[in-house]
């Protein structure tokens, strides 16, 4: 995309996200976009795509849970059992649909990165891993288990970093007794076997 066009797109999308998200979520969003762009430079991925993916990844996060379920039905998004229990899980697939329908993103790589930014999936593309990792390591994240280790690996190996984050997420979900989404499980198995 032409530089001028891209600048305008980013400016417009940033304004939309500032309106759509609460203050903390907006701050997180801007930080994920920056982090994802830096990681993209390291891994030879288009940094503009990574920035836009970061900018929109949580665009459905501040929608009320009841509304998330309604929108999921409207857009034929499958609702897994864990998502029924915790509709917040829907913000990723719903965010991907809204990125396309409301915010005019047509790039399938960006849409897919948004779709899988919460659960991950087996055999992710570099852009998908970058968004997943940037979401976890951005500077405003409160200290999570293994965060320092994930940060130090983020610019060394995407696959190893995925393993560390998945391990941390699994232990967090286990402690809180949350139901595992089948996709989170598959992602875990895949990346554990890989490293």
Residue whose tokens read 């998004």: 77
> According to the binding rule CB under 5 A, does residue 58 interact with Fe ion?
yes
Are 98 and 142 in contact by the 8 Å Cβ rule? The answer is no
Partner interacting with residue 173 (select from ligand DGI, Fe ion, none; CB below 5-8 Å by kind):
ligand DGI
CB of 152 to Fe ion, least distance (A): 20
> According to the binding rule CB under 6 A, does residue 144 interact with ligand DGI?
no
**For the residues of the chain, what is the DSSP string, one character each?**
--HHHHHHHHHHHHHHHHHHS-HHHHHHHHHHHHHHHHHHHHTTS-HHHHHHHHHHTTTTTTS-HHHHHHHHHHTT----HHHHH-GGGGHHHHHHHHHHHTT----HHHHHHHHTTTT--SS--HHHHHHHHHHHHSTTSPP-TTHHHHHHHHTT-HHHHHHHHHHHHHHHHHHTTPPPPHHHHHHHHHHHHH-
- The footprint of ligand DGI on residues 7-46 (CB under 6 A) is none
> According to the binding rule CB under 5 A, does residue 181 interact with Fe ion?
no
> According to the binding rule CB under 6 A, does residue 68 interact with ligand DGI?
no
CB of 183 to ligand DGI, least distance (A): 7
Complex with ligand DGI: residue 96 or 184, whichever CB lies closer: 184
Choices 4-12, 70-78, 86-94, 104-112; region in contact with ligand DGI by CB under 6 A = 86-94
**Number of amino acids touching ligand DGI (CB under 6 A):** 17
Are 10 and 55 in contact by the 8 Å Cβ rule? The answer is yes
Complex with ligand DGI: residue 96 or 119, whichever CB lies closer: 119
Binding map of ligand DGI across residues 102-141, x = CB under 6 A, - = no contact? ---------------xxx---------------x------
Binding map of Fe ion across residues 136-175, x = CB under 5 A, - = no contact? ----------------------------------------
List contacts with ligand DGI (CB under 6 A): 58, 61, 82, 86, 89, 92, 117-119, 135, 169, 173, 178-181, 184
């Amino acid at each position: 995309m032409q530089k001028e066009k891209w600048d305008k797109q980013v400016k417009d999308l940033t304004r939309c996200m500032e309106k759509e998200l609460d203050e903390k979520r907006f701050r997180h969003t801007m930080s994920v976009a920056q982090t994802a762009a830096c990681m993209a430079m390291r891994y030879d991925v288009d940094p503009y795509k990574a920035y836009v993916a970061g900018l929109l990844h949580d665009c459905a996060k501040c929608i009320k849970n009841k509304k998330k379920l309604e929108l999921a039905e409207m857009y034929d998004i499958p609702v897994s059992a864990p998502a029924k229990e915790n509709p917040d899980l829907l913000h990723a697939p719903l965010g991907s649909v809204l990125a396309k329908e409301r915010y005019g993103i047509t790039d399938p790589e960006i849409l897919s990165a948004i779709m899988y930014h919460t659960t991950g999936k087996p055999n992710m593309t570099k852009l998908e891993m970058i968004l997943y990792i940037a979401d976890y390591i951005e500077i405003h994240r409160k200290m999570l288990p293994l965060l320092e280790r994930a940060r130090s690996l983020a610019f060394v190996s995407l696959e190893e970093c995925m393993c560390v984050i998945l391990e941390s997420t699994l232990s967090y979900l286990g402690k809180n007794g949350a139901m595992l989404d089948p996709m989170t499980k598959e992602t875990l198995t895949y990346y554990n076997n890989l490293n």
